[in-house]
Structure 1
Amino acid sequence: MEPTPDLSHLTRRDYDRIYEPAEDTFLLLDALELDANALRAAKPQICLEIGSGSGCVSTFLGKILGSSVLYLCTDINFHACRCTFLTGVQNQVILDPINTSLDSAVQYRLMHGVDIILFNPPYVPTSSDEAEDAQEARTIEGSWAGGFNGMELTNVFLERVERLMSFQGKFYLVAVKQNDIEHIRRLMLHSHGLKSEIVLQRRAGREYLFVIRFTR
């Protein structure tokens, strides 16, 4: 059992600017741990986390898979990129953060080349204006403000993810019940040919969280 990454280098001032790991983060860690043997057996070469925040998730995956893998981590928030890098250093995992929105800086170079994709998106339903303002400001609000049905930013990435995935690729998505899990799964199957399975689900306060794994 892999321990949760050491985040003791991050301070309250950091968490005023980036998303602090919470129940959704830990559910994703648990899902990756459940799949750990299959992930190792697939011998992935490139992993990509969208919206890495503190770097906790990619660091955890790095501990599972080891140093032979390239760990790319994007975040629109520059401070999150800095914290991601430092979390890797703190835990002896080499992470490569990229300050960009979603996969914008890498989508063409990585076409059909990414073996593991991780996305814990801003899934909280808000107004569209609030979600758009949060992304433009590149601040902590962008880590949770999801717009209509909490899906506005997620929908943008769902249109791109199949082009990123390698033949053996796996895509892990965190979602809440209000996002309409079955609609997401049908959309990805019918529009992009990606099969899916709910790896884990858990109630956390008022939220009911899911981790969905998509494969070809």
Structure 2
Amino acid sequence: MEIGCGSGYIITSLALILKSESNSHSPHFFATDVNPHATNVTRETLEAHGVHAEILTTNITSGLEKRLAGMVDVMVVNPPYVPTPEEEVGGGGLSAAWAGGENGRSVIDRILLVADNLLSDRGWLYMLFLAANDPLQICLEMRDKGYGAKIVVQRSTEEETLHVIKFWREFDGQLEGNEAGSTPKSAPQRGWDFIFSQISRFRETK
């Protein structure tokens, strides 16, 4: 699942990787965005690469909470993370892709609550954060909820420092994020590296 699919590049790449690695069953993919233009472009991107996803124009995952509770194995999110006045959050147009409210956390915190409901016991959450979002504090808050966390990609520019953080539910005796598992979500690291090394460039396409 991708929340805030924008151009559809990430969900398409994810679908291609996991589809090629799935031997036992065919994964089902979901992509959501509040912007109807984004969901239309995502549909075109998926079709151009011969893969399918269920695409919804909705706020975060509205309408899917009951249907997918505890069932999502991989969730990828490039959220609105830019610190802005609260009144700019949730507005129409392109600002919905970046306006994040106080400390850029308003939408992020809502998505983390959604992820806690939707992720399976073996699920992974990958989310992009700006340094101003205080990623360390987010990791500590998620730890209190029973999640492990790890920075998998970090990129710095003249204007900002970005982190992609992986979260997973921790259980006694569990390896990090079920990395010893053989499910389709154990995609090749080269695939994840490629996706997340590019993720900071997608903001301008939303």
- TM-score, with normalisation over the residues of structure 2? 0.77
Structure 1 gap segments, 5+ residues each: 1-47
Residue 85 of structure 1 contacts residue 96 of structure 1 at CA under 8 Å; is this kept in 2? no
1:174 is matched with: 128
Aligned length: 164
Deviations for 1:80-106, whole angstroms, at most 9, x for unmatched residues? 111111000111111221011001110
Which one of the candidate residues 82, 88, 92 is aligned to 1:130? 88
Report the equivalent of 2:27: 69
Deviations 1:134-159 (A, max 9, x none): 2xx2x211001111101101111112
Aligned partners of 1:200, 1:157: CA distance in 2, in Å? 20
Q: Counterparts of 1:45-84 in structure 2 under 5 Å?
A: 48-66=1-19, 68-84=26-42
Gaps of 5+ in 2: 21-25, 170-206
The one-letter code of the counterpart of 2:97 is: S
The answer to whether the aligner puts 1:95 opposite 2:53 as a matched pair is yes
Distance 2:79 2:16 in 1: 22
Give the 3-state SS of the residue equivalent to 1:195 in structure 2: strand
Matches of 1:125 and 1:199, distance apart in 2:
23
Residues 84, 95 of structure 1: 8 Å contact kept: no
The answer as to whether partners of 1:113 and 1:164 remain within 8 angstroms in 2 is: yes
Spell out the pairing of 1:111-126 with structure 2 (5 A cutoff): 111-126=69-84
Percent identity of the aligned residues? 37
Q: Deviations over 1:39-90 (max 9, x none)?
A: xxxxxxxxx1101011010001111111721110011111111111100011
Runs of 4 or more off by more than 3 Å in structure 1?
A: none
CA distance in 2, matches of 1:196, 1:85: 31
Corresponding residue for residue 172 of structure 2: none
User: What does 1:127-166 align with in structure 2 at a 5 Å threshold?
Assistant: 127-132=85-90, 134=91, 137=92, 139-166=93-120
Give the 5 Å matches for 1:184-203: 184-190=138-144, 192-203=145-156
Choose which of 159, 162, 183 in structure 1 pairs with 2:137: 183
Counterpart residue number, 1:45: none
User: How far does residue 188 in structure 1 lie from its aligned partner after superposition?
Assistant: 0.8
Which deviates more, 59-68 or 144-153? 59-68
The 1-side partners of 2:157 and 2:99 are apart by 18
Q: Tell me how far 1:116 sits from its aligned partner.
A: 0.3
- Deviation for aligned residue 1:204: 2.7
Matches within 5 A, 1:17-56: 48-56=1-9
